[in-house]
Amino acid sequence: MTGGGLLVAGTTSDAGKSVVTAGICRWLVRQGVKVAPFKAQNMSLNSFVTREGAEIGRAQAMQAQACRIEPTALMNPVLLKPGGERSSQVVLLGRPVGEMSARGYHGGRQQRLLDTVLDSLAQLRATYDAVICEGAGSPAEINLRRTDIVNMGIARNASLPVLVVGDIDRGGVFASFFGTVALLSPEDQELVAGFLVNKFRGDVSLLEPGLDMLHGLTGRHTYGVLPFRHGLGIDEEDGLAVSLRGAVRESAVTAPVGEDVLRIAVCAVPLMSNFTDVDALAAEPGVVVRFVDRPEELADADLVVVPGTRGTVRALGWLRERGLADALLRRAAEGRPVLGICGGYQILGERIEDDVESRAGRVDGLGLLPVRVRFAREKTLERPVGRALGESVEGYEIHHGVADVRGGEAFVSDDGGHGLDGCRVGQTWGTHWHGSLESDGFRRAFLREVAAAAGRRFVPAPDTSFAALREEQLDRLGDLIEQHADTDALWRLVESGAPPGLPFVPPGAPA
Question: Bridge partners of 100?
Answer: 88
Q: Letter for the amino acid at 60? A: Q
- Give 444's Cβ-side CA count (13 Å radius): 15
List 133, 342, 399, 400, catalytic entry = 342
DSSP type of residue 254: P
Distances from the Cα of 204 to the Cα of 195, 197, 208, 418, 464, angstroms: 15, 11, 6, 60, 36
Cβ-proximal residues to 308 (8 Å cutoff; 6+ apart), any chain: 272, 273, 274, 275, 277, 341, 342, 343, 344, 398, 434
Q: Does residue 434 have an active-site annotation? A: yes
**Virtual torsion, Cα 337, 340, 344, 349, nearest 10 deg:** 80
Cis peptide before 507 (omega within 30 of 0): yes
Write a three-state SS string for 9-64.
Answer: EECCCCCCHHHHHHHHHHHHHHCCCCEEEECCEEECCCEEECCCCCEEEHHHHHHH
Active site (annotated) includes residue 25? no
List phi, psi (to 5°) of 413. -125, 165
Cα separation, 104 vs 87, whole angstroms: 9
C-alpha to C-alpha distance for 251 and 254, rounded to whole angstroms:
9
Among the options 399, 400, 432, 434, which is catalytic?
434
Q: Are strands 419-421 and 192-200 parallel, antiparallel or unpaired?
A: unpaired
Neighbours of 166 (CB within 10 A): 24
- As a whole number of angstroms, the distance between CA 99 and CA 29 comes to 37
Sign of CA dihedral 278, 279, 280, 285: positive
Question: What is the torsional sign of CA 364, 367, 369, 370?
Answer: positive
SS3 per residue for 422-442: CEEECCEEEECCECHHHCHHH
The H-or-E segment that residue 152 falls in is: helix 152-158
Q: Residue type at 237?
A: E
Q: In what order do the strands lie in the sheet with 397-405?
A: 361-364, 351-354, 371-382, 397-405
Please say whether the beta carbons of 298 and 265 come within 8 A. yes
Looking at the DSSP bridge assignments, the partners of residue 485 are: 224
Active site residue ranges:
342, 434
